[in-house]
């Protein structure tokens, strides 16, 4: 570029600048605001055409598409299955980051790996088997027609618990806002005497993604003899829940990972129950057929 005469250099730099100069400026685009219904229709048709064009070209170029690459919404919408769970995944989610060492609960020491940068590092090699045990438990409970409640009472945990419950299906429930005190211990007041007696109001398993703000709920589960799973951090006594998962309770990624693993295990349990019911129905039908044949 330096070897060119000034005129040529100016031309080249002008040409290089051209593509970006012709993008619509803010003033131009503000003139084209939609005003009438027909404007909106034309805008929608335009957008549909542009989408078609992008879809046409998306098939070419390389084998990498939006579907087979990691997207930021995948931890919530496409969680890891229990069989695909690895230590690296837990590490990447920041599950090993505990609270400050001065806040270390003495009962948490077996789950602590050490201290670094003033915080307790949680030993993920103990977290992983605990998480897998919890997954097996959720699978077993759901496959035996049990109900599971996911509790995550923080704004960032709300979509996580909702999706986790939806994944399990009719046997999954979630509490994303607040666990009303007395839900289990005062069920007659909450649900009415008929419902409290005839329907299954007490869940078979409760999963706490943030146990500290929900200690009242944990206490209720203990009173009603409901098994609990919970993410316990380094400032927490792991014995507050029956099946602790020592991990970082402040990280959204960790909570999404753990809730995802447990909900996929629950979905597998539901599928198993459906398979078993199908098999039983088939064998009952074939037995009935045999009996009628014998009688004949």
Partner 1 sequence: MHRLTHSLATAGCSSTRAVRFAASSWRSTAATAVSPRPLLATASRRRNIHVRVPLPYKIEDGMGDFLPPAALKVIAEDYQQGLLDRLNEQIKGTKFENLSVAQIVISTAPHESQTLAFNYASLALNNSFFLHHLKPPTARAPNHESALTGKLLSHERTHRLAGAITAQLGSLADLKTYVAAAAQGMNSGGGAGGFVWLVTDALGRLGVVATYGAGTLLVAERRQSLLAWDGTELGGVYQPATPPPPPSGRTQHAAPAQARALSTSARASGSVRPTNVWSDPPLAPSDAGAVAGSDGTYGASEAPAALDALGKTLYPLFCVSVHEHAWMAAGYGVWGMETYLERFWTCLNWVAVREAYARYAVRK
Which parts of this chain interact with partner 1 (CB under 8 A)?
15-23, 31-32, 34-39, 42, 45-46, 49-50, 52-54, 56-71, 74, 78, 80-84, 86-87, 89, 110, 125-126, 128-130, 132, 136, 139, 143, 268, 271-272, 275
CB nearer partner 1, residue 6 or residue 110: 110
CB of 15 to partner 1, least distance (A): 8
Q: For the CB of residue 245, give the shortest distance to partner 1 in the complex, in Å.
A: 12
d(CA 232, CA 135): 16
Tokens at residue 12, please? 């080249």
Structure tokens at 22: 């012709």
148 φ/ψ angles, rounded to the nearest 5 degrees: -125, 135
CB closer to partner 1, 184 vs 236: 236
DSSP character string of 155-188: TTTHHHHHHHHHHH-TTEEEE-S---TTTTTTHH
Residue among 30 and 102 whose Cβ is closer to partner 1? 30
Bridge partners of residue 120, in order along the sequence: 115
* Distance between CA atoms of residues 150 and 137, nearest Å: 14
Quote the least distance from Cβ 195 to partner 1, whole Å: 33
51 Cβ neighbours under 8 A, 6+ residues apart: none
Q: Between 125 and 199, whose beta carbon lies closer to partner 1? A: 125
Locus of tokens 């539901």: 270
CB of 107 to partner 1, least distance (A): 12
Q: Are 257 and 127 in contact (CB under 8 A)?
A: no
Distances, alpha carbon 164 to alpha carbons 44, 101, 133, 234, 274, in Å: 35, 32, 18, 25, 19
75 within 8 A of 257, measured Cβ to Cβ: yes
Percent helix, strand, coil in the chain, to 5, is 55, 10, 30
Distance between CA atoms of residues 226 and 259, nearest Å: 19
Q: How far is the CB of 123 from partner 1 (least distance, A)?
A: 9
Which one, 13 or 286, has the nearer CB to partner 1?
A: 13
Q: Which is nearer to partner 1, 249 or 268 (CB)?
A: 268
Q: Distance between CA atoms of 256 and 73, rounded to whole angstroms?
A: 11
| C-beta closer to partner 1: residue 224 or 271 | 271
In the complex, minimum distance from the CB of residue 182 to partner 1, in angstroms, rounded to a whole number: 33
Q: Are 85 and 261 in contact (CB under 8 A)?
A: yes
Provide the minimum distance between the beta carbon of 227 and partner 1 in the complex, in angstroms, as a whole number: 16
Name the strand (E) or helix (H) holding 196. Answer: helix 193-198
Compare residues 85 and 151 and give the one whose CB is closer to partner 1: 85
CB of 233 to partner 1, least distance (A): 18
Check: CB of residue 95 under 8 Å from CB of residue 254: yes
């Amino acid at each position: 570029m330096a070897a060119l005469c000034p005129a040529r250099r100016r031309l080249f730099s002008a040409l290089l600048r051209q593509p970006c100069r012709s993008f619509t400026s803010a003033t131009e685009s503000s003139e084209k605001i939609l005003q009438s219904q027909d404007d909106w229709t034309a805008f929608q048709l335009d957008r549909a055409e542009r989408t078609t064009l992008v879809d046409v070209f998306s098939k070419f170029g390389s084998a990498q598409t939006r579907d087979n690459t990691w997207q930021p919404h995948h931890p919530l919408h496409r969680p890891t299955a229990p069989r695909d769970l690895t230590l690296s995944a837990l590490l990447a989610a920041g599950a090993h980051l505990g609270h400050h060492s001065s806040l270390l609960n003495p009962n948490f020491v077996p789950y602590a790996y050490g201290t670094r940068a003033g915080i307790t590092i949680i030993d993920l090699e103990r977290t992983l088997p605990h998480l897998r045990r919890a997954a097996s438990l959720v699978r077993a409970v759901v496959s035996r027609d049990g109900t599971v409640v996911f509790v995550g009472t923080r704004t960032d945990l709300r979509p996580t618990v909702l999706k986790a419950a939806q994944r399990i299906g009719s046997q999954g429930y979630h509490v994303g806002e607040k666990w009303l005190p007395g839900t289990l211990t005062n069920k007659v007041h909450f649900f009415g005497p008929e419902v409290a007696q005839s329907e299954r109001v007490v869940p078979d398993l409760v999963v706490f993604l943030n146990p500290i703000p929900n200690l009242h709920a944990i206490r209720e589960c203990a009173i009603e003899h409901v098994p609990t799973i919970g993410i316990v951090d380094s400032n927490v006594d792991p014995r507050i829940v029956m099946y602790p998962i020592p991990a970082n309770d402040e990280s959204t990624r960790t909570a999404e990972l753990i809730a995802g693993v447990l909900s996929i295990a629950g979905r597998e349990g539901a599928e198993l129950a459906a398979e078993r019911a199908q098999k039983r129905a088939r064998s009952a039908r074939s037995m009935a057929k045999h009996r009628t044949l014998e009688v004949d």
